[in-house]
Chains A and B, each alone.
Chain A
Amino acid sequence: MSGAGDLIGKLRRASRRKQLTAIGLLSPALVLMLVAFVWPIVSLLTASVRAPDFAVAMPNLSAWLQTWDGRSMPDETAYKLVAEEFGAAMDAKNLAVASTRLNYEKGGLRSLAMKTGRRAKDLKPPYAEALVRVDAAWGEIETWRALKGASGVFTDRFLLQAVDLARQPDDSIGMVAPEQRVYVDRLGVTLTISIVVTLLAALIGYPMAYVMAMAGKTVGRVLFLLVLLPFWVSVLVRTAAWVVLLQKEGILNGAMLAVGLISEPKQLIFNRLGVYIAMVHVLLPFLVLPLYSVMKSIPRDHVRAAASLGAGPVSAFATVYFPQTIPGLGAGCLLVFILAIGFYITPALVGGSSDQMISGIISELALGTANWGLASALALLLLCCIAIIYPVFGRYAGATGLKLG
């Protein structure tokens, strides 16, 4: 008896040791991912609701603004705090970030803040009159409401702005002015492009995978490599090739002019058509490869059996073959869609300004105007779209045993 107990204990210890070894082997990758991926992503997403620049630079003024009701004009206490803290922020060199934060609340406040900061030292009481003399905007309640909007550490302004909403003066949520409604439109363009590209890829890719799966061993292998090769060629190289092929003085226009198909060059690139062509080209292998691996595993006897039982080719395909390819088709379509929705480089290089997708806008906001809050909010929006689709993809991908290349 004690021998058996010993053995169980030994086995348990051995299995515990194995588990510890496994965790030890995994730990470098886990640490890397947590430090250089998970933490950055989490802090990026927090940046969509956390914008403390103004509150940090003007702590006392912010505290006062938080208690202000937003309806009556502020009294001398508040004007005194403005004079003190704008001057202090100027000295501490954080007036610039605070005024950028302020500018998101109301355009034009950056210059007001910087002007006030520069002249704060020279102001004498009563501060209310002195500040109005610096700029008449200090006498307007809208300015103060904007200040109140910027005074919190947390804000919903970027999340709302990402879907073209904003807080109204009475604190309710409403649509922004029509000329500022840009982001819902971009999301629409992103989804439209992704759906069209997915459908095109499925329409072209399904016959391709079918022919590959039905071909003999050697031909199948060659076709497989033909699909795999573009997959390995850099997206930039392929984009450059499409520009050469499709531009106004390019190969295709030249050929069509030469044979008299058209009388003047057609615009085939730097518009939506160019985006579709280049994106389908990049994403097609992601649809063909999983579909091919599924089709190859379907025994040919199945269709023959259906035919021997009297099914016509169309009904044999529809009732026997096609249903078996749905996992591969589903995995491929979802993969293409998920990848398409985050595309940036291709639309940026072969699209017009109206074809820019959410990723392009995020990059522009981040690298161009350093509006991290809004860039983060749009990133969150994009991730939400993917989070909705990803679990479905995971189910299909698990079923097909998706492999790389």
Chain B
Amino acid sequence: MAVGGTPYSSAGHRCGAAAIRIIAGLGFVFMLVPILAIVPLSFNGVSYLSYPLRGLSWQWYGAVFAPTPWMPALWNSITIGLATTVLATAVGTSAAYGLAYAAFPGTRLVAALLISPMVVPIVITALAVYLAFAQFGLVQSFAGLVLAHTVLAVPFVVITVGATLHGFDRNMVRAAASLGAGPLTAFRTVTLPLTAPGVLAGAVFAFVTSFDDVVVALFLAGPQQFTVPRRMFNALRDKLDPSIIALAVFLTLVSVLLLGTVELLRWRTDRLRNRGQNGT
């Protein structure tokens, strides 16, 4: 390295730094632009998916919130999503507590098993579940779809709740026990309140897993259980019309709200934890 002048002021470095910033900037634009670009089009006055806009109207949102075809699909998505959330959160939270509670032979294997649905390509899971459920008449049924979605959602709950428990200070439970609390009382009054944000975040993940699923619905849903993504998949294979874009903007809004919820819960977890550690 040449003597004189700090290496950080060299022209080469400035060029390199600029290049990194430009690529990164383009990357952020790339991530966001497609989502933002469609928002104005959903208010277009005419059935034309390009700029410039010709008048503004709510008509495409009207089409989304009309009695058919999207409302029954939305209702299906919500009910299936909520049922999945309840099941997956209960089962997954219990499992995460179990994994954190005591080590026993095979803990690692069990943990790997519980998150394995995340690694297996979704088409394979969907096909396998379809063939297995067909033997019990669970194909084209509400119960079958909820069960399959629960399998996909449990790993997210286990990981989210597990992460919360990982940073959880065990001494607080010991303190509760030393003050005379039984295991259940200690759980109810200490562990649960401190980990509740993590459990709620896990529940949101579970809901999103079900709410966004296309492939399992493609295999398992009958016309009576068509969810929003299932119907949207069909619609995207036909010609794109502006009501799909209005629906997409609405779904994006839902995503933003859910992301906000999870971020808020994460912030709360951190705060609760810090407060616990500071003893205030």
Partner-B contacts on A (CB < 8 A): 15, 18-19, 21-26, 28-30, 32-33, 36-41, 43-44, 47, 203-205, 207-208, 210-212, 223, 225-230, 232-245, 247, 249-251, 254-255, 280-281, 284-285, 307, 310-316, 338, 341-342, 344-345, 349, 359-360, 362-363, 366-367, 372, 375-376, 379, 382-383, 386, 390, 403-405
Contact = CB atoms under 8 A, between A and B. Distances in A.
Contacts of B233: 236, 345, 349
Contacts of A254: 50-51
B160 interface: yes
Which 5 pairs, one residue from A and one from B, show the smallest C-beta to C-beta distance? A342-B121, A25-B98, A40-B132, A29-B95, A26-B98
Interface of B: 1, 6-8, 10, 12-13, 16, 20-21, 23-28, 30-35, 37-38, 41, 49-51, 90-92, 94-95, 97-99, 101-104, 110, 113-114, 116-117, 119-133, 147-148, 150-151, 154, 156, 158-160, 163, 205, 208, 211-212, 214-215, 218-219, 229, 232-233, 236-237, 240, 244-245, 248, 251-252, 255-256, 258-259, 262-263
Given A40-B132, A240-B244, A234 B255 contact: yes
A312 B196 CA distance: 49
Given A24-B98, A313-B7, A211 B20 contact: yes
Given A19-B104, A25-B95, A341-B121, A240 B32 contact: no
Specify the main secondary structure of chain A where it touches its partner: helix
Contacts, number: 286
Q: Which of A30, A32, A284 has the most CB of B within 10 A?
A: A32
A386 B119 contact: yes
A208 B121 contact: no
B95 A281 contact: no
10 contacts: A22-B98, A25-B95, A32-B150, A207-B20, A223-B28, A229-B35, A285-B31, A307-B6, A359-B121, A363-B215
Q: Which of B10, B34, B154, B245 has the most CB of A within 10 A?
A: B34
Contacts of B232: 236, 240
Contacts of A341: 121
Specify the main secondary structure of chain B where it touches its partner: helix
A223 to B, nearest CB: 7
A226 B132 contact: no
A241 B244 contact: no
Contacts of A207: 20-21, 23-24, 27
